[in-house]
Amino acid sequence: MKKANLEKDAGEFLLGAMVAKLQDEKRTVLERIAADVRECKKCPLCSHREEGVPGEGFWDSKLFFIGEAPGVEEDKQGRPFVGRSGTLLSDLIRSIGLSRGQVFITNVVKCHPPGNRLPEIDEVNLCLPYLMEQISVVKPKIVVLLGNVALFSVLNRTHMTELHGSLLTEKGQPYFITCHPSAALRSETWKRRIREDFKKLSLFLQEMETKIS
């Protein structure tokens, strides 16, 4: 075998080993965060939950979706977006050529608020470090903020009606803004808007990938 071929094989082997190491490290941290969430007693929501819902998905996702809080079904199963909103979210993800297994999905707070009420500001502040660490591990190309709670908690912004469909960059991280799937289930207007927003999201992602390649 020629020397150039041997060097190429060695280079590919080393690259493969580095990717496998990175994958192991990211998986380990994500599993540790998930275990911490399931044991967490930092805020009063722990006393109402059946299961903590840390989130789930691919360790190297391009897209990282953030909703508000687990609902009743999510609380029972310990998984995010598994009710009617989840069915719509899965459908929207498929509409841009991806599957749930290729993205990361979670919520601002990881435990179900009683009566499906909004999470309180103290609960959000106590829970946010889990979310921020998940983002820093996955390092997605785009974080997708689903709804007002995600928009306010992560970017301290309001006015979903004006901001939906736009991409904002904060501290080097791009954020795409759209409504929560549950809002789209309640309103034909928002159902139309969220579908249009996902088309824009796909274009933003393609643009970024074209620039990189």
Extract the runs of DSSP E, i.e. beta strands, from the chain: 56-57, 63-67, 104-107, 142-146, 167-170, 173-178
Candidates 26, 42, 141, 191; binder of ligand SF4 (CB under 6 A) is 42
Q: Which stretch binds ligand SF4 (CB under 6 A): 71-79, 107-115, 160-168, 196-204?
A: 107-115
CA gap 156, 152 in Å, rounded: 4
Nearer to ligand SF4, 98 or 135 (CB): 135
Q: Could you say whether residue 110 binds ligand SF4 (CB under 6 A)?
A: yes
Q: How far is CA 140 from CA 50, 72, 75, 102, 106, in A?
A: 29, 28, 26, 11, 13
Output the smallest distance, CB 71 to ligand SF4, in A. 14
Candidates 66, 103, 105, 111; binder of ligand SF4 (CB under 6 A) is 111
CA gap 122, 204 in Å, rounded: 34
Q: Could you say whether residue 79 binds ligand SF4 (CB under 6 A)?
A: no
Where do contacts with ligand SF4 occur on this chain (CB under 6 A)?
A: 37, 40-43, 45-46, 52, 109-111, 123, 126-127
